[in-house]
Amino acid sequence: MPTSLSIEEIKKYIPHRFPFLLIDKVINIDYNKQVVGSKTKALKNISPDDQIFKGHFPGNPIFPGVLIIESMAQTMAILMSYGNHESKTPLLARIKNAKFKLPVYPGDQLELSCVITKYKEPNVLGMAKAFVNDKLVAEAELFCHLK
């Protein structure tokens, strides 16, 4: 199996589509059969042309934190679907200890990472982080349910 995925390959693993597909490329997947310890890294380019910036915030555009969380959740969903769970859809069930450290601006590139910390099917817990230029901008514990 490949360890990186293009946008077209990503669409094989998660159901999200434009404008809500918030991953542009998966740069690494390290999946193991035990699931715990599996990890992935992905990229999201923050386009200055994104319609969200017309309202968030005019004159001071900032990428919404909730969309950073969603990007991290999609990174986790790709990881779970990439394993032996292709027939199941990972659904975000809970967000815990979310922290936003720095704002994300148009033109930034988010580097997203997720590590699976607990797994008992159908439940998965992962630690997700988002970076811009190697600086931590957000992190959260994400809990998903495989449906």
Exposure string over 74-99, b if 16+ CB within 10 A, otherwise e: bbbbbbbbbbebeeeebebeeeeebe
Active site residue 85: no
Of 16, 56, 85, 145, the catalytic one is: 56
Pairing state between β 109-120 and 25-30: unpaired
For 18, phi and psi rounded to 5 degrees?
Answer: -55, 135
Question: From CA 67, how far away is CA 84, in angstroms rounded?
Answer: 27
For residue 45, count other CB atoms closer than 10 A to its CB.
12
CA distances from 15 to 10, 18, 47, 74 (A): 9, 10, 22, 10
Residues noted as catalytic? 56
